[in-house]
Amino acid sequence: MKSYISILILIIHSISFIVSLTKNTSYIQLNAPNIASLILTIILIYISIYDINHMIIPTSPIVLGNLIIFFLIFINELSFSNIILMENILSCISIYILMRFFSLTLRSISKKTLLGLGDAKVFSLGGAWLGIEGCLIAISIAFTTAGIFAFMGRTTKILKPWQPFPFAPFICMSIELTWNHAKAF
């Protein structure tokens, strides 16, 4: 079952990426935004599949993704100001703190871990790449799609009550959809 889900995740990410490459032209252009999108897609696919197989999120791809986007913004901004770089760093930190607070609140109410530390880190990766507004869109998409998945799983009795399932694939898909398809980003 895990392998089928991993293949589905790979297909969804790949389709989203390819559609984003060809949305303004009939051919694929090799430019900095498309290379950045490819890097982000690879990182998000890795995180998704790892979480599906291990129910844990590795820190190294998140750190790598954050360093890459900060480097790309810094290089792009050398001739301008570093306002966008600071905004994205603050977005990364703010989203992490917000999601950690949300995680701790959920844990104190339910006495169960409903949103893990790794999930907060993946959301912070979204904050680094998307900024606050984009990450809030991604958070909404992630919780909505995971809620639909959980409802369908409970309705069909595939998921038991309180059965944990990997949330990172929903986060990763929402980050990628927002990055590749939202007009403001």
Query: What is the sign, positive or negative, of the torsion defined by CA atoms of 172, 176, 182, 185?
Result: positive
| Per-residue pLDDT reduced to its tens digit, 36-57 | 888 999 999 999 999 999 999 9
How much of the chain exceeds pLDDT 90, in percent?
A: 61
185 has pLDDT over 80: no
Give the residue-averaged pLDDT of 97-103.
Answer: 96
| Per-residue pLDDT reduced to its tens digit, 120-134 | 999 999 999 999 999
Residue 45 and residue 13 in contact, taking contact as beta carbons nearer than 8 Å? yes
Task: List the single range of 20-29, 61-70, 154-163, 166-175 with lowest mean pLDDT.
Answer: 20-29
Q: Cα separation of 52 and 168, whole Å?
A: 8
| Per-residue pLDDT reduced to its tens digit, 7-25 | 777 787 777 777 766 666 6
pLDDT of residue 184: 46
Contacts of 75 (CB under 8 A, 6+ apart): none
pLDDT of residue 61: 96
> pLDDT-derived band of residue 180, with 50, 70 and 90 as boundaries?
confident
Write the DSSP string, 73-100.
HHHHTTTS-SHHHHHHHHHHHHHHHHHH
